[in-house]
């Protein structure tokens, strides 16, 4: 069996920026164990697979795997999948409807940006903040901690996010993925994302984290449309909007590589 693999840098307009995703289009599903082994072999934060849907309400079914486990939502790999469909595979319709573990995700193309319609995950204040959390984040002074899927940790300023040096062993013991965020200087808000519990110490740019960040910062800033930056070493740019029960997350992509997997 031969499979085609594309590697796409997502949420960036230049090569070697943003978040690289491995995209593997399929005609039909292969086994879960094989998809997991392929993701482990690729050793990127996510490998994404999609197949044509047989259901009338979706165009494709999509699934995402880290090197160690399947996850329920991934923004950069969805963006990368849409880029491959639009710019490599010749998909000609204005919208792509992906059926996923988080429901239907609608993706549209607007000039050089691709926009994703994602669920809004409004985080709530965390009542019992683990005592080890601040230590695991390099003894940061924490302003507040919220949670939906992941811990959302706000700190006082952008520099604290940029300079944070986490203890990934301690973070893994906490058992939760962690979003670190602050109000931005040039962006409306900035963030970093740590996920050692699923085999990714730091994810370069994380669309799914913005399902929590967008409603959080929209309420704090009194704005619906915002510009966000993820402050990993590779960096990423996101144009986002809060729509109540949904959010939109838009970004750019750059083609890096096409290869063939021989199984």
Which token pair is 129?
């903040």
Sign of CA pseudo-dihedral 67, 70, 74, 80: positive
CA 181 – CA 160 distance, rounded (Å): 9
Q: How would you classify residue 132: left for phi > 0, otherwise alpha for psi between -120 and 50, otherwise beta?
A: alpha
SS3 50: strand
CA 33 – CA 181 distance, rounded (Å): 35
Q: Which of 27, 41, 46, 132 is catalytic?
A: 46
The yes-or-no answer on residue 46 being catalytic is yes
Say how many residues make up the chain: 263
- Encode burial over 210-235: b for 16+ CB neighbours within 10 A, e otherwise: bbbbbbbbbeeeeeeebebbbbbebb
Q: Residue 176 burial by CB count (10 A; 0-12/13-18/19+): exposed, middle or buried?
A: middle
List the one residue out of 139, 144, 141, 137 whose CA is nearest residue 174: 137
Residues 214 and 242: beta-carbon distance below 8 Å: yes
CA dihedral 153, 158, 162, 168 (to 10 degrees): -10
Question: Which residues are known to be catalytic?
Answer: 46
């Amino acid at each position: 069996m031969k499979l085609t693999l594309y590697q796409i840098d997502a949420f960036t307009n230049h090569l070697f920026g943003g978040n690289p995703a491995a995209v593997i289009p399929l005609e039909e599903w292969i086994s879960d164990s094989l998809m997991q082994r392929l993701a482990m072999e690729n050793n990127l934060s996510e490998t994404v697979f999609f197949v044509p849907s047989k259901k009338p309400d979706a165009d494709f079914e999509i699934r995402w795997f880290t090197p160690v486990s399947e996850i329920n939502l991934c923004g950069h790999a969805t963006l990368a999948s849409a880029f491959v469909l639009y710019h490599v595979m010749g998909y000609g319709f204005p919208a792509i409807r992906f059926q996923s573990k988080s429901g239907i995700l609608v993706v549209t193309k607007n000039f050089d940006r691709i926009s994703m319609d994602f669920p809004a995950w409004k985080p709530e204040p965390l009542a019992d903040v683990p005592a080890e959390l601040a230590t695991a984040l390099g003894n940061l002074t924490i302003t507040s901690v919220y949670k939906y899927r992941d811990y959302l940790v706000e700190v006082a300023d952008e520099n604290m996010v940029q300079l944070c040096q986490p203890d990934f062993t301690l973070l893994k013991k906490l058992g939760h993925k962690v979003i670190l965020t602050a109000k931005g200087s040039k962006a409306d808000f900035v963030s970093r994302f740590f996920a050692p519990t699923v085999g990714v110490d730091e994810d370069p740019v994380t669309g799914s984290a913005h399902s929590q960040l967008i409603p959080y910062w929209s309420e704090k800033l009194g704005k619906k449309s915002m510009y966000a930056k993820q402050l990993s070493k590779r960096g990423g740019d996101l144009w986002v909007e809060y729509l109540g029960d949904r959010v939109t997350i838009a970004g750019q992509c750059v083609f890096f590589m096409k290869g063939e997997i021989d199984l």
